[in-house]
Structure 1
């Protein structure tokens, strides 16, 4: 207990899934959390649930596609709790119907995803950093994705936006390290959030698990604990890094599972 005791954190996109898991873990470890989400009622309910467990939290509205809304969320955090020590830029959108391959890309969707997934990280950091400097430093954690490191058949805009998050993380870390501000990112693989469970067929989940190095999928808390570590002083000498939390899905030769199947059949 108390790993982030006395700190104040603003978490965007945190009314559900990874963001909510992270908010609960931070609050459990002594952090005052501001849950910012487009779903205002969900954000308020999440804050009430945290308070019912003895934590400190408020739920507020944020539109990550609107810079003014992001600025207001930062100012509300500071006005309510007096400071901001941790910023978790967690908002992210994807669209499997419009975010396709390069030739068939919906260009309006390209602009929307780059604005929400990448520019929101810039804007949140832009408005939080001056307050962090006044507070004597801070930790910014950005949600990237394994899509920012590897190509895929579709989701070119999403992948490009997340690759931008990875590199922007390094720039923020470089430019504000002397102000005792650290900036890192977390790149999740497939995580069994409620959205993933509800929208992905069991057969698709089985395909992902087949190519994991570990024999199971990730849970929201796996990302939440990573963010907790990066928010705490335990990671005080880590900055500019993107931690890949993906169960070893991308570390090996991609043909290994198929070769295993082939060898098992040959030996049987």
Structure 2
């Protein structure tokens, strides 16, 4: 207990999934948390639940596609708790119907995803940084994705936006490190959030599982604990990094899964 005792944390997209895990773990470890989400009822409900357990939490509306809304969420955090020490830029969108390959993708969807997935990270950081500088330091944690590290046959805008988040993380770290502000990213693989479990076909889960080094899928707390570590002073000499939390999906020769199947078939014939 107490790994982030006394710190004030703003978690965007914090009402469910990865954001809710991060908000809960930060609160349990002593932080005062603000849960910002487009679904404000869910944000307030999550904060109320944490308060009923004896933690300090508040919920606030956030439209990550609008600059003024992001600014208001940061200012709400400072007005409520006096400062901001941790910012978890966690909002992210994807659209499998419109975000396709380069020729066929919807260009309006490209702009929309760049606003929500990338520009919101820039703006959240931009508005929080002056308060962090005044406070003598802080930690910014950006949710990227394993899609930012390799190409794919679809979701071009999503992958491009998340790759840009990885690089923006480095720029923020380089520009504000002398103010004792760290900026790191976390890149999830397939995470079995409630939404993913509800919407992901079993065949797709099997495909991901086949190429993971580990024999299971990730859960929201796998990312939440990484965020907690990066928010805490345990990671005080880590900045500009993006930690890939993806079960070894990209850590292996891509032929291993198929080659393993082949070897099993060979052995079975002997």
What secondary structure sits across from 2:41 in the alignment? helix
Q: TM-score, normalised by structure 2?
A: 0.99
Corresponding position of 1:36: 36
Corresponding position of 2:11: 11
Shift of 1:234: 0.4
Corresponding position of 2:20: 20
Corresponding position of 1:142: 142
Corresponding position of 1:161: 161
Supply the distance in 1 between the matched residues of 2:167 and 2:204 (Cα, whole angstroms). 30
List runs of 5+ in structure 1 lacking aligned partners.
Answer: none
For 1:181-196, what aligned pairs fall within 5 Å after superposition?
A: 181-196=181-196
Corresponding position of 1:217: 217
Supply the distance in 2 between the matched residues of 1:72 and 1:220 (Cα, whole angstroms). 27
Matched, 1:205 2:191: no
Corresponding position of 1:174: 174
Corresponding position of 1:57: 57
Supply the distance in 1 between the matched residues of 2:210 and 2:32 (Cα, whole angstroms). 39
- Deviation string, structure 1 residues 75-125 (Cα, Å, up to 9, x no partner): 010000000000000000000000000000100000000010000000000
What secondary structure sits across from 1:33 in the alignment? strand
What secondary structure sits across from 1:224 in the alignment? helix
Structure 1 segments of 4+ aligned residues over 6 angstroms from their partners: none
Supply the distance in 2 between the matched residues of 1:105 and 1:32 (Cα, whole angstroms). 41
Supply the distance in 1 between the matched residues of 2:101 and 2:131 (Cα, whole angstroms). 40
- Deviation string, structure 1 residues 53-83 (Cα, Å, up to 9, x no partner): 2111000000000000000000010000000
Supply the distance in 1 between the matched residues of 2:204 and 2:145 (Cα, whole angstroms). 19
- Deviation string, structure 1 residues 2-37 (Cα, Å, up to 9, x no partner): 000000000000100000000000000000000000
